[in-house]
A and B are shown apart, each in its own frame.
Chain A
Amino acid sequence: MNILETESGRLLNAVRGLLTAKGILSPAEIAERIAITDAGSPAQGARMVARAWINPEYRALMLRDGTIAAEAMGIVMRGMPPLGVLENSSEVHNLVVCTLCSCYPRAVLGYPPFWYKSAAYRARAVRDPRGLLKEWGTVLPERVKLRVVDSTADYRWMVLPLRPAGTEGWSEEKLVSIVREGDMIGVTIPVLPG
């Protein structure tokens, strides 16, 4: 049979069967890994961001070691590349891209959005980041410098956005609700609903 004609499901089953038969992985380990992968979503990263906004100690931990900070929120990081966290400030705004492929912090943000993998985003994020942000409707004060982080090797990067004005006194749960995927990639900044 031509492997190119094999349905992806049948191919997957064949690989799973071989991994088990050769003793490389047990069915339980495969099931666990699928569950871990499925748990990755922007909601995980949003929980970390909201916690960092209200808890200075957690924020410091997150900036020092994103992997430990994610684990502290119950996110499984075993087998994942190290997570680095880039903090936006009144002086610098971070934008994450992977020009070589689609490296992405999947444990905390899930699968990358389709545009993150596009040739256009990958090329323009490094060459014309200000033009790109403008198209996203993201307006930064003139004095804010851009740091484009090209995720080329073993780290995965997420952005810790600035807490927007007008959220004083908000509960952690309410803060979680305003943090979006793009805010943690850096194409957007959190905005208040309405």
Chain B
Amino acid sequence: MTVLASGQRVRVKNDWPETRGPCHIRTPHYVRGEEGVVMRHLGDFPNPEDLAFARPAALRPLYHVAFAQPSIWHEGSAGDVVQVEIFGHWLEPA
């Protein structure tokens, strides 16, 4: 899997596995469908979505992704960011 570069614009998938059945998702609701910027690749970690159910968990790249705080909440101060750890399989090019 290609590692995303720092500075790359990405969009978090607007996906809601919670509506389809039992799952364990580490991607907060408030960033789903939102655009952000990859700050850096934090390393590769076992996929928590499998780990939580004691299934074999493949290593997945984890990124620190920054989102403009006002664009998520439609309030707040320009320049403030929310930075979130997000697994690569939740990100698509923006």
| A133→B82 CA distance, assembly (Å) | 15
Q: How far is the CA of A147 from the CA of B69 in the complex (A)?
A: 9
Tell whether, in the assembled complex, residue B83 and residue A149 are in contact, meaning their CB atoms are under 8 Å apart: yes
Q: When each residue 20-54 of chain A gets 1 if its CB lies under 8 Å from chain B and 0 otherwise, what string results?
A: 00000000000000000000000000000000000
Of the stretches A104-112, A122-130, A167-175, the one at the interface is: A122-130
Q: B19-60: contact bitstring with A at CB < 8 Å (1 yes, 0 no)?
A: 000000011101000000000001101001000000000000
**B91 CB contacts on chain A under 8 angstroms:** none
Q: Which residues of A contact B45 (CB under 8 A)?
A: 153-154
Instruction: Report yes or no: A129 in contact with B84, Cβ–Cβ below 8 A.
Output: no
- A75 → chain B, closest Cβ, in Å? 20
User: Do the beta carbons of A148 and B26 come within 8 Å of each other?
Assistant: no
Interface status of A191 (Cβ within 8 A of chain B)? no
**Least Cβ distance of A84 to chain B in Å?**
8
Minimum Cβ distance to chain A for residue B51 (Å): 10
Partner of A152, one of B43, B79, B80, B84: B84
Inter-chain contacts of B73 with A (CB < 8 A): 126-127
**Shortest beta-carbon contacts, A-B, top 6:** A153-B85, A146-B80, A154-B45, A145-B79, A150-B84, A148-B82
Query: A: which residues have CB within 8 A of B?
Result: 82, 84, 99-100, 126-130, 145-155
16 more CB-based (< 8 A) A-B contacts, given A145-B81, A155-B85: A82-B42, A99-B30, A126-B30, A126-B73, A126-B82, A127-B75, A129-B76, A145-B79, A146-B81, A147-B80, A149-B84, A150-B28, A150-B85, A152-B28, A153-B85, A154-B62
